[in-house]
């Protein structure tokens, strides 16, 4: 745990450097090019630019990804979760490069995406590659991936607590003491590095708020229900469009997404880019009711198009914009219907953010921690709880929606779910359960060599045939008769990597239809590379479980 915590802190620094670099690229490109004086001010662009820029960016991203190999096109948090489910968190470097480049182009060209998707992927991949370089076992790689995710969220948004909770609640789907320590240190080191460049101020400047009273609670619940409908439409629309458009050429999909975003931007330029300037204006009360409604609905439509048609941008940032504008609109409506409400419309905007994130991600703690750190205001937490749960219930119970990244994975045929037993198996390495009491004997050895091997009282005999192991044998029968074994008495085995988890070992035994595995440091069962023997019953005993 101490060593892994130290590695988590180092991984956080690596992630912090990459995330700062990504932010600088996306924030300075258009400014340096002279198109805008602020990376967020797409509203200042003439309408031809608002239409042409996302189309050109979508075409560029599509062509770049079309030329790449099929395997390297998978990007985003959904890809990170898929690698955790199928590859124990081993992240390919090519996909991370494609995510960095594609995500940067998407944001710079004004698509309705966020930066958290790219930074989660890049952060997770950099931490995973660091662990692979150190040849860490797979259960440690999973923890380092969580460190990368937490560090990426923390460094990108200056939200270390939300980064930790997001990594545990959304990506790993579990909370463990062993995992918490390195993930927290990764978030601390990544945030510290980010603050050296961007300072320690919250992402949004929140004006003085009037606290919610008990009279506000019914309308806060109404807000949660309304935002739950919005979140359900967001998740369902993105999943279905992703499913139904995957047969189309990628360049056509991304160009179409850019064209749709540009058309939406003709009516509401606020839908372009990250939209955090729009969130700030909403918090200051400088956007009217009609404009808030239009922005929320067009942001929903544009983001569904961008996410469902395959643009490599984030899906969480737009939740902040949709939640803030929808919440702000409901706050204005509430005050017009009931002037006696104590909370200001600004507070309702923040409650909309929490409700939208909590319902779309189905991660209420991450949503609450995010608005706490984004605003620096602790008094939003109590009403935030009253808004998040109704939104979550509407999206999940009423409409049956999964968390947005899980929904995308299931739409692609990957069943990503939390299984407590499987999670426990995947947290433990085979080295913790394997039996190292074995002796290796050549099958053609004379009886004296067999006697010598049995004298060491091994639990297993490995029968060597030249430079490979041909079978394993329990030594009890040999000890009774003091004779050499024949090849027909050897038991079959599966090869298990020394870096594997108990869950991977169990799946390997099932696939090979044998209860015995040889734990090897290489990819073959050679006498010098065998580290131990593992049985199904040892795996089950290690987690206190019986199949």
Instruction: Count the neighbouring beta carbons within 10 Å of the beta carbon of residue 56.
Output: 17
Query: What average pLDDT does the segment 339-367 reach?
Result: 89
Pick the CATH number of 2-198 from 3.20.20.150, 1.10.10.60, 1.10.3080.10, 3.40.50.170: 1.10.3080.10
Higher pLDDT, 176 or 437: 437
379 contact partners, CB below 8 Å, separation of at least 6: 209, 211
- Are the C-beta atoms of residues 225 and 390 closer than 8 Å to each other? yes
Strands ordered across the beta sheet of 438-442: 438-442, 460-465, 468-473
DSSP string, 262-316: HHHHHH-GGGSS--HHHHHHHHTT-S-HHHHHHHHHHHHHHHHHHHHTT-SSBSS
The predicted-structure confidence for 385-422, as pLDDT tens digits, reads as follows 999 999 999 999 999 999 999 999 988 887 766 566 66
Phi, psi angle pair for 402, to nearest 5°: -85, 165
The strand pair at 530-535 and 516-520 is best described as antiparallel
Instruction: Count the neighbouring beta carbons within 10 Å of the beta carbon of residue 153.
Output: 33
Strand partners of residue 520:
497, 530
Higher pLDDT, 83 or 225: 225
The torsion region of residue 544 among left (phi > 0), alpha (psi -120 to 50) and beta comes to: left
Instruction: Count the neighbouring beta carbons within 10 Å of the beta carbon of residue 286.
Output: 9
Query: What average pLDDT does the segment 188-198 reach?
Result: 93
Nearest in space to 151 (alpha carbons), one of 317, 4, 316, 15: 15
- Are the C-beta atoms of residues 349 and 331 closer than 8 Å to each other? yes
Paired tokens of 127: 């931490």
Q: State the pTM of this model.
A: 0.82
177 contact partners, CB below 8 Å, separation of at least 6: none
pLDDT at 257: 97
Cα–Cα distance measured from residue 368 to residue 109, given in angstroms and rounded to the nearest whole number:
31
- Are the C-beta atoms of residues 415 and 124 closer than 8 Å to each other? no
- Give the single-character DSSP code of 429: B
Query: What average pLDDT does the segment 231-243 reach?
Result: 96
Cα–Cα distance measured from residue 525 to residue 545, given in angstroms and rounded to the nearest whole number:
28
Query: What average pLDDT does the segment 39-61 reach?
Result: 92
128: helix, coil or strand? helix
Residue 490 confidence class, pLDDT cut points 50, 70, 90: confident
- Give the single-character DSSP code of 435: B
Instruction: Count the neighbouring beta carbons within 10 Å of the beta carbon of residue 419.
Output: 11
The predicted-structure confidence for 242-259, as pLDDT tens digits, reads as follows 999 999 999 999 999 999
Pick the CATH number of 214-418 from 1.10.599.10, 1.10.3080.10, 3.40.50.300, 2.60.120.10: 1.10.3080.10
Share of the chain above pLDDT 90, in %: 56
> Locate tokens 């850019």: which residue?
258
- Give the single-character DSSP code of 211: P
Cα–Cα distance measured from residue 426 to residue 344, given in angstroms and rounded to the nearest whole number:
47
Paired tokens of 31: 């400014």
CATH 1.10.3080.10 residue ranges for the chain: 2-198, 214-418
Nearest in space to 22 (alpha carbons), one of 164, 122, 147: 122
What would be the CATH architecture of the domain defined by 422-542? Answer: Roll (3.10)
Q: What are the start-end ranges of the H helices in 338-437?
A: 345-361, 364-375, 381-393, 404-411, 420-427
Paired tokens of 521: 């440091």
**Secondary structure element (H or E) that encloses residue 180, with its range:** helix 177-198
Strand partners of residue 217:
none
pLDDT at 481: 44
Cα–Cα distance measured from residue 412 to residue 404, given in angstroms and rounded to the nearest whole number:
13
Instruction: Count the neighbouring beta carbons within 10 Å of the beta carbon of residue 24.
Output: 12
| Helix orientation angle between 420-427 and 138-157, rounded to the nearest 10 degrees | 100
The predicted-structure confidence for 206-234, as pLDDT tens digits, reads as follows 787 777 777 888 999 999 999 999 999 99
pLDDT at 192: 94
Distance of CA 140 to the CA centre of its chain: 16
């Amino acid at each position: 745990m101490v060593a892994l915590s130290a590695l988590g802190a180092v991984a956080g620094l690596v992630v912090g450097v990459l995330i700062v670099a990504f932010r600088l690229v996306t924030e300075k490109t258009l400014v340096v090019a002279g198109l805008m004086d602020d990376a967020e001010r797409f509203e200042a662009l003439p309408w031809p630019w608002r239409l042409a820029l996302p189309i050109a960016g979508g075409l560029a991203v599509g062509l770049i990804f079309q030329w790449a190999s099929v395997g390297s096109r998978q990007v985003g948090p959904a890809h990170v979760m898929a690698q955790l489910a199928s590859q124990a968190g081993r992240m390919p470097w090519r996909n991370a490069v494609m995510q960095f480049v594609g995500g940067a182009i998407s944001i710079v060209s004004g698509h309705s995406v966020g930066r958290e998707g790219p930074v989660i992927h890049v952060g997770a991949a950099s931490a995973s590659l660091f662990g692979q370089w150190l040849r860490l076992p797979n259960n440690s790689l999973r923890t380092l991936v969580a460190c990368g995710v937490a560090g990426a969220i923390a460094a990108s948004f200056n939200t270390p607590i939300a980064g930790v909770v997001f990594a545990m609640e959304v990506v790993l789907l579990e909370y463990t003491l062993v995992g918490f320590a390195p993930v927290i240190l990764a978030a601390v080191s990544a945030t510290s590095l980010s603050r050296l460049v961007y300072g320690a101020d919250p992402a949004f400047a929140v004006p003085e708020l009037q606290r919610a009273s008990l009279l506000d609670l019914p309308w806060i619940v109404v807000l949660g229900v309304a935002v739950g409908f919005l979140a359900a439409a967001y998740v369902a629309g993105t999943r279905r469009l992703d499913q139904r458009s995957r047969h189309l050429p990628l360049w056509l999909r991304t160009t179409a997404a850019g064209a749709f975003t540009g058309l939406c931007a003709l009516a509401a330029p606020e839908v372009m880019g990250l939209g955090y300037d729009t969130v700030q204006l909403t918090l200051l009360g400088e956007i009217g009711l009609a404009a808030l409604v239009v922005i929320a609905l067009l942001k929903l439509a544009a983001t569904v198009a961008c996410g469902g048609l395959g643009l490599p941008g984030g899906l969480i940032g737009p939740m902040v914009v949709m939640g803030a504008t929808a919440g702000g609109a409901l706050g204005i409506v509430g005050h017009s219907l009931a002037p006696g409400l104590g909370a200001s419309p600004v507070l309702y905007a923040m409650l909309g953010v929490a409700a939208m994130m909590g319902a779309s991600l189905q991660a209420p703690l991450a949503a609450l921690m995010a608005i706490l750190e984004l605003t620096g205001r602790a008094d939003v937490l109590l009403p935030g709880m009253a808004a998040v749960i109704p939104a979550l219930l509407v999206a999940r119970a009423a409409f049956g929606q999964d968390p947005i990244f899980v929904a995308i994975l299931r739409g692609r045929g990957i069943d990503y779910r939390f299984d407590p037993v499987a999670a426990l198996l995947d947290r433990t390495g085979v080295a913790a359960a394997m039996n190292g009491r074995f002796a290796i004997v050549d099958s053609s050895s004379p009886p004296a060599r067999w006697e010598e091997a049995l004298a060491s009282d091994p639990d297993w005999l490995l029968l060597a045939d030249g430079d490979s192991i041909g079978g394993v044998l329990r030594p009890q029968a040999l000890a009774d008769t003091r004779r050499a074994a024949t090849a027909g008495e050897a038991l079959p085995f599966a090869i298990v990597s020394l870096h594997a988890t108990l869950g991977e070992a169990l799946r390997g035994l099932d696939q090979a239809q044998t209860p015995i595995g040889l734990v090897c440091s290489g990819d073959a069962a050679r006498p010098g590379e065998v580290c131990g023997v593992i049985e199904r019953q040892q795996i089950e005993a290690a987690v206190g479980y019986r199949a």
